[in-house]
């Protein structure tokens, strides 16, 4: 089996050799240079990972990122710098806009463990511009059949209080198990639904199933809440507030126990209808959560336009909370801003107890993530609760 190929580009010779040694120990076939001009000779379609210093004389890292995009590269990136964190973040944003997979951004000096962790994030099927078996992915017709045949189902990810670790609610997440092709990622089938006029049917299923499950929990003695994600394309249906209210009444649940999550980009569909629908939902008692906060371009404007009751700090900030001062600052300011506006704050992507504890110090209200609990079927909730309580 051919070894994965890793290319190191760093004008500091000693550091380039250090990265190369760690990569070799990790099992990579390594090419390394301290001359950025040699990148063009060493890089090939066989390169799996490029470890790239941003600040180099003559040709900087941004130019090399642009070259990878121009070549339609499948290689993943690890970005390094001994200087500005903000430049690292900007380079990451640029690479991702160009559909290049960034495994990590590392601030020098770098420890071997940090490099090894970054290497471990690489998976060929997740590399930029690479979709394994794309011709085998389900079609819009198959998704239509899945809706009719009840192949879609919900799983539920718990949200807990950071102050006392008590259960505060669940986010309902849609899944699709194809009878022949197995589990299909929501990252594939949700855009497929949006592009083929199927998102309304999917949203109707999600809303009904989530509200029904909340009613089952509450009748069984579990007094909790549920959060439902709403596609931007649904926020044009002026009947939506009445429809959700009717569903809540049918299942005997109070709208105050249902939170509708919308992303920042939802406002780009139709501003007037967006504000109309969300304001009436709030007036009927539903909670409103602005999801992925901080990753869009109109966050602050939306906070004064729409009566949100909750703010979710995006996972991109939470996953680096312990090691990145800028991500910590953004998280801290987001929490402070939300509380000033009378909103609760949920941190997405809590992956370890240290992050959970730091969020508590920063005043965050609720946490959600794999360390707390993975998305799970309703029948596994009791087992998770027992484990979490202990």
Phi-psi region of 133 (alpha: psi -120 to 50; beta: other; left: phi over 0): left
Angle between helices 186-195 and 140-148 (to 10 degrees): 100
- pLDDT band per the 50, 70, 90 thresholds, residue 128: very low
Element (H, E) at 291: strand 287-293
Name the CA dihedral angle for 104, 110, 114, 116, rounded to a multiple of 10 degrees.
100
Q: Which CATH architecture has domain 5-126?
A: 3-Layer(aba) Sandwich (3.40)
**Residue 1 pLDDT > 60, yes or no?**
no
Tell which residue, 12, 50, 45, 10, has the closest CA to residue 30: 50
On whether the CB atoms of residues 63 and 38 are closer than 8 A, the answer is: no
Q: What is the mean pLDDT of the chain?
A: 88
The span from the CA of 282 to the CA of 276, in Å, is 10
- pLDDT band per the 50, 70, 90 thresholds, residue 134: very low
Q: Domain limits of the chain?
A: 5-126, 136-389
Overall average pLDDT of the 184-206 stretch: 90
- pLDDT band per the 50, 70, 90 thresholds, residue 152: very high
Q: What is the pLDDT of residue 27?
A: 87
Angle between helices 353-362 and 325-340 (to 10 degrees): 50
Answer yes or no: pTM beyond 0.75. Answer: no
**Residue 296 pLDDT > 60, yes or no?**
no
SS3 22: helix
- Domain 136-389 coded CATH 3.40.50.150: no
Angle between helices 85-97 and 325-340 (to 10 degrees): 80
**Residue 224 pLDDT > 60, yes or no?**
yes
The span from the CA of 212 to the CA of 363, in Å, is 33
DSSP state of 295: S
| Strands, sheet with 47-53, edge to edge from the N-terminal-most edge strand | 29-33, 5-9, 47-53, 76-81, 102-107
SS3 169: strand
Quick check: do 5-126 and 136-389 share a fold? no
Tell which residue, 255, 157, 239, 168, has the closest CA to residue 204: 239
DSSP state of 319: T
């Amino acid at each position: 089996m051919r070894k994965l190929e890793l290319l190191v580009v760093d004008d500091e010779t000693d550091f380039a050799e250090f990265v190369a040694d760690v990569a070799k120990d990790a099992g990579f076939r390594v090419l390394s240079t301290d001359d950025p001009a040699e990148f063009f000779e060493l890089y090939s379609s066989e390169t799996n990972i490029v470890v790239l210093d941003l600040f180099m004389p003559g040709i900087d890292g941004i130019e090399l990122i642009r070259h990878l995009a121009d070549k339609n590269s499948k290689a993943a990136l690890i970005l390094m710098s001994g200087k500005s964190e903000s430049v690292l973040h900007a380079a990451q944003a640029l690479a991702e806009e160009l559909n290049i997979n960034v495994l990590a951004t590392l601030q020098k000096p770098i420890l071997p463990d940090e490099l090894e962790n970054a290497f471990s994030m690489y998976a060929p099927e997740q590399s930029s511009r690479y979709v394994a078996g794309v011709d085998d992915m389900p079609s819009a017709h198959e998704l239509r059949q899945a809706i009719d045949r009840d192949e879609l189902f919900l799983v539920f990810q718990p949200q807990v209080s950071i102050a006392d670790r008590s259960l505060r609610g669940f986010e309902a997440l849609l899944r699709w198990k194809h009878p022949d092709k197995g589990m299909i990622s929501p990252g594939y089938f949700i855009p497929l639904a949006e592009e083929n006029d199927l998102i309304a049917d999917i949203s109707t299923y999600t809303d009904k199933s989530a509200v029904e499950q909340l009613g089952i929990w509450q009748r069984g003695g579990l007094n909790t809440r549920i959060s439902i994600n709403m596609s931007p394309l649904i926020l044009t249906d002026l009947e939506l507030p009445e429809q959700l209210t009717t569903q809540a009444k049918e299942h005997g649940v109070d709208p105050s126990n249902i939170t509708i999550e919308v992303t920042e980009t939802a406002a780009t569909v139709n501003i007037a209808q967006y504000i109309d629908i969300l304001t009436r939902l709030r007036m009927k008692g539903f909670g409103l959560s602005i999801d992925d906060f901080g990753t869009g371009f109109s966050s602050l404007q939306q906070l004064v336009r729409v009566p949100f009751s909750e703010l979710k700090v995006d996972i991109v900030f939470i996953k680096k909370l312990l090691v990145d001062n800028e991500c910590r600052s953004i998280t801290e300011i987001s929490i402070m801003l939300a509380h000033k506006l009378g909103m609760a704050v949920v941190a997405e992507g809590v992956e370890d107890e240290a992050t959970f504890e730091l969020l508590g110090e920063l005043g965050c209200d609720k946490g959600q993530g794999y360390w707390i609990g993975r998305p799970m079927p309703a029948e596994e909730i009791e087992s998770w609760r027992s484990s979490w309580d202990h």
